[in-house]
């Protein structure tokens, strides 16, 4: 069966950028259709952000139980716990299912027409959708929002399959690997590697650059390195994976160190986590007349492409590949289409790494600010001096909150932190930069006691030279 449909707004991709764009467009009175093939919520909700955080939380709970079984800590003692990883995956899947159904209900409430299928563009404004129900629908739209997202990078010499897995497969494991090698020491590889180490796997990491978590400064990643060493995670930095071979019925990863020497590590599973790339194939990008910026679709400050009436948002448009960036761009584009004067120009987009301990970065590091010619002042508050951090089992992991400000006017240029549960401060950090806050602004706000947010105020006081809860 073939039908034709026209609409004011067509959104391609139901991920964290696409579905907010569709909801906001419909709220503004625009006839809106959204097409999605791989599950509303996109990779973030179905295969990334949410399932990985559920997995990480379960791993941390299990680690805590093991520790209490081994030692009477906090006055708590438990029997030896057992891990059912298939049960963890089932619990994680239940959360994902509940949230994806919620996205569907939100779209329905907003009166957005949802088509489950794959869209292929014939030109910039017309596509053909083959739905899961077997229909073929030709859609012509006044405005198109491309939100196709990204997918895992697969190494050509080490494709996924068998014992070589990506993050999606790692989140669906039904058996705990005794030995795991992670290729890639970025946030995805380390988040999952640390979680599986907490569950009991022996873990080794192979990273091509000279440090784990490229993009974060040395001071910030030091507590993570401390945790990895303490928990006997083998780190091989400055090393390049060469491929997987079988030796005596055992999977073995070969890698080359900086001196050209080849090494081997036995493994039950090899997790390849070397990044993500935009989904640009299979939906007719070549027929749309868009300009490219390397592998990404080129956009301006309003997310407009080179083709009038066609917008692109989220991972399709370049770094940072973050769900919250995509969501904000989606809402913004819907408002632009509706005639509002809007532009995408955030001061900074916060990044969070859910390792052990967690990392948060907003704005410039001290080194980055100096490289831009800024004279800066910094303040660092150790979470070991935070009562709230200590009551939550943190503080003694080397965590801290660090603020970087311009020396001349005390305007905050960057905020970085590492510590248990520190990700929950990312919103306050981002708001401070977006509002152009000064050190005095933050120090002058009464922060609730006892909370981790007090560490932010104390870091500002430290930069100003008169901290209260640490010695100056």
197 closest CA partner among 254, 269, 147:
269
Query: With 0-12 CB in 10 A as exposed, 13-18 as middle and 19+ as buried, what is 360?
Result: buried
Query: With 0-12 CB in 10 A as exposed, 13-18 as middle and 19+ as buried, what is 34?
Result: buried
**Residue 34 · residue 113 · CB < 8 Å:** yes
Alpha-carbon distance of 240 to 423, in angstroms, equals 31
Alpha-carbon distance of 267 to 175, in angstroms, equals 14
Catalytic residue among 324, 449, 466, 469: 449
User: Is the backbone of residue 383 left (phi > 0), alpha (psi -120 to 50) or beta?
Assistant: alpha
Alpha-carbon distance of 465 to 459, in angstroms, equals 10
Q: Quick check: is 57 catalytic?
A: no
Alpha-carbon distance of 261 to 242, in angstroms, equals 11
Which amino acids are annotated catalytic? Answer: 449
């Amino acid at each position: 069966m073939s039908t034709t449909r026209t609409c004011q707004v067509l959104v391609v991709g139901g991920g964290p950028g696409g579905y907010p764009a569709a909801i906001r467009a419909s709220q503004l009175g625009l006839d809106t259709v959204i097409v999605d093939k791989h599950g509303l919520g996109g990779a973030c909700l179905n295969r990334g952000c949410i399932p990985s955080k559920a997995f990480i939380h379960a791993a941390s709970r299990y680690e805590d139980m093991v520790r209490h079984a081994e030692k009477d800590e906090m006055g708590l003692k438990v029997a030896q716990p057992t891990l059912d990883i298939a049960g963890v995956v089932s619990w994680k899947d239940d959360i994902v299912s509940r949230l994806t159904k919620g996205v569907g209900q939100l779209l329905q409430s907003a009166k957005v027409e949802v088509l489950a299928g794959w869209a292929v563009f014939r030109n910039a404004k017309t596509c053909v959708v083959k739905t899961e129900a077997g229909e073929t629908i030709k859609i012509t739209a006044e405005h198109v929002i491309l939100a196709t997202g990204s997918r895992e990078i697969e190494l050509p010499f080490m494709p996924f399959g068998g014992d070589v897995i990506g993050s999606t497969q790692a989140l669906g494991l039904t058996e705990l690997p005794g030995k795991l090698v992670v290729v890639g020491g970025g946030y995805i590889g380390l988040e999952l590697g640390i979680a599986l180490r907490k569950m009991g796997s022996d873990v080794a990491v192979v990273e091509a650059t000279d440090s784990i978590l490229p993009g974060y400064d040395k001071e910030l990643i030091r507590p993570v390195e401390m945790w990895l060493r303490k928990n006997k995670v083998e780190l091989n930095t400055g090393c390049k994976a060469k491929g997987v071979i079988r030796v005596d019925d055992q999977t073995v990863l070969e890698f080359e160190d900086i001196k050209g020497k080849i090494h081997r590590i036995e493994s039950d599973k090899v997790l390849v986590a070397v990044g993500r790339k935009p989904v640009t194939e299979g939906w007719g990008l070549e027929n749309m007349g868009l300009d490219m910026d390397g592998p990404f679709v080129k956009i301006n400050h309003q997310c407009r492409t080179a083709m009038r009436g066609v917008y692109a948002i989220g991972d399709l448009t370049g770094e940072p590949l973050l769900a919250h960036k995509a969501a904000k761009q989606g809402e913004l584009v819907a408002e632009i289409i509706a005639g509002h004067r809007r532009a995408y120009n955030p001061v900074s987009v916060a990044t969070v790494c859910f390792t052990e301990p967690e990392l948060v970065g907003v704005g410039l590091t001290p080194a980055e600010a100096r490289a831009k010619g800024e004279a800066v002042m910094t303040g660092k508050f150790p979470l070991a001096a935070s009562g709230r951090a200590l009551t939550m089992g943190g503080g003694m992991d080397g965590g801290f909150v660090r603020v970087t400000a311009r020396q001349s006017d005390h305007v905050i240029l960057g905020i970085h932190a590492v510590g248990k549960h520190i990700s929950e401060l990312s919103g306050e950090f981002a708001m401070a930069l977006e509002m152009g806050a000064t050190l005095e602004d933050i120090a002058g706000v009464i922060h609730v006691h006892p909370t981790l947010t007090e560490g932010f105020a104390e870091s500002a006081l430290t930069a100003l030279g008169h901290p209260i809860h640490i010695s100056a």
